[in-house]
């Protein structure tokens, strides 16, 4: 299976990355360094995670050339707005010890004042024009919110990073984004490990001699989604990298129709289901 996919601006992104939500201090820096030394090329962070400095320390310690690593960060909800986004991004670059990132996202849309979201997008467009970010995208955007954004810009987001896993198979959003050329990137890709004992999931895992987490991640890749599982545990980081295997039609049918379907992340009033 391919380990890279191409975004709508021609930039390649790995299908697998390390998420760093809730990772802090030396644990975060070590996890980033370890992951980059053991099969990962994509590191995902955010201003709101308050660990960009540790991510910068970790990727530097890995010894990997900067051009071989895909680094993503996000403009936090508190830094939304044109000037605020630009100023905060400059601090992000300093903390990350890099002159550019490969992808910067709007972390959460402001549904109460969407003009602020549009202003933030205009700032991201400027960052891309200045080559301070190779790509720009969004996170936690529903179809109607993407539509509202696209009414104001000719620059289509390359990525929409959302909660997506076998127990939240957002088929309408996936089809819409694929039609627009927007890559879905899945956070919480193993559903916070809440369903590892599910009978159907374990059945598929046993068939392939894999763990439930590996099957959930492989399911995403088989659907051409980017996955960013988070961990600071070395054995789990290694386990999560062993996901590039084919699931057959029977496996995909089982996983595509698994129950229950439930959203685990509900914040900032964006999701009303």
pLDDT digits (tens, 9 = 90+) for 49-66: 999 999 999 999 999 999
List the chain residues with pLDDT less than 50: 273
Q: Residue 261: its pLDDT value, please?
A: 97
Q: Residue 138: its pLDDT value, please?
A: 98
Q: Which of 15, 40, 49, 187 is catalytic?
A: 49
Catalytic site includes residue 40: no
Q: Residue 2: its pLDDT value, please?
A: 81
Q: Residue 266: its pLDDT value, please?
A: 78
pLDDT digits (tens, 9 = 90+) for 218-273: 999 999 999 999 999 999 999 999 999 999 999 999 999 999 999 999 766 676 54
CATH (one of 3.30.420.40, 3.20.20.140, 3.50.50.60, 3.20.20.100) for 4-256: 3.20.20.100
Q: Residue 272: its pLDDT value, please?
A: 54
Domain ranges within the chain, ordered by starting residue: 4-256
pTM equals: 0.96
- SS3 per residue for the chain: CCCEEECCCCCEEECEEEECCCCCHHHHHHHHHHHHHCCCCEEECCHHHCCHHHHHHHHHHHCCCHHHCEEEEEECHHHCCHHHHHHHHHHHHHHHCCCCECEEEECCCCCCCHHHHHHHHHHHHHHHHCCCECCEEEECCCHHHHHHHHCCCCCCCCEEEEECECCECCHHHHHHHHHHCCEEEEECCCHHHCCCCCHHHHHHHHHHCCCHHHHHHHHHHHCCCEECCECCCHHHHHHHHCCCCCCCHHHHHHHHCCCCCCCCCCCCCCCCC
């Amino acid at each position: 299976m391919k380990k890279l996919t191409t975004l709508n601006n021609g930039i390649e992104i790995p299908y697998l990355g390390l998420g760093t939500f809730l990772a802090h201090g030396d644990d975060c820096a070590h996890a980033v360094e370890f992951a980059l030394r053991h099969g990962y090329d994509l590191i995902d962070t955010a201003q709101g995670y308050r660990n960009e400095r540790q991510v910068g320390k970790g990727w530097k310690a890995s010894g990997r050339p900067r051009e071989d690593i895909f680094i993503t960060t996000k403009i936090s909800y508190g830094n939304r707005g044109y000037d605020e986004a630009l100023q905060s991004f400059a601090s992000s670059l300093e903390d990350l010890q890099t002159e550019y990132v490969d992808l910067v996202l709007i972390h959460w849309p402001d549904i109460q004042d969407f003009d602020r979201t549009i202003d933030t997008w205009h700032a991201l467009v400027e960052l891309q024009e200045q080559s301070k970010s190779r790509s720009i995208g969004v996170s936690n955007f529903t179809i109607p919110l993407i539509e509202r954004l696209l009414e104001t810009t000719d620059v289509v987001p390359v990525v929409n990073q959302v909660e997506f896993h076998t127990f939240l198979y957002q088929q309408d959003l996936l089809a819409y984004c694929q039609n627009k050329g927007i890559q879905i990137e899945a956070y919480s890709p193993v559903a916070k490990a809440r369903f590892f004992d599910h009978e159907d999931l374990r059945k598929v895992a046993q068939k392939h001699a894999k763990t439930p987490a590996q099957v959930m991640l492989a399911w995403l890749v088989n659907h051409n989604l980017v996955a960013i599982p988070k961990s600071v545990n070395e054995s789990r980081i290694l386990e999560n990298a062993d996901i590039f295997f084919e699931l057959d039609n029977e496996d995909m049918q089982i996983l595509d129709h698994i129950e229950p379907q439930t959203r685990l992340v509900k914040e900032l009033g964006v999701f009303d289901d």
